[in-house]
Amino acid sequence: MVSVAMGKFEKGEDETLGIHKLKGTFKNFWSFDADYDLRIIYSVNKNGSVILHILETLGTHSELYGQ
């Protein structure tokens, strides 16, 4: 699923990815869904380059968002 999500992301925003700006501690980052419990976190630097960030497992969707 990660490669499918990355392919969609590389081609431009795709509404099925759920791209959204994060808040709080991660307010300088954006996120999109690779699958239900896996998020890709990224930032955009001043020249417009996208930087992907590798994060340790943060928990399931329910554990993170209480849903």
Burial grade of 5 (CB within 10 A; 0-12, 13-18, 19 or more):
buried
Whole-number Å distance between alpha carbons of 56 and 12: 26
Distance separating alpha carbons of residues 9 and 30, to the nearest angstrom: 12
Q: Mean pLDDT, 10 residues at a time, over the chain (67 residues)? A: 82 84 87 79 92 71 66
Output the pLDDT for position 24.
Answer: 84
pLDDT of 67 reads 56
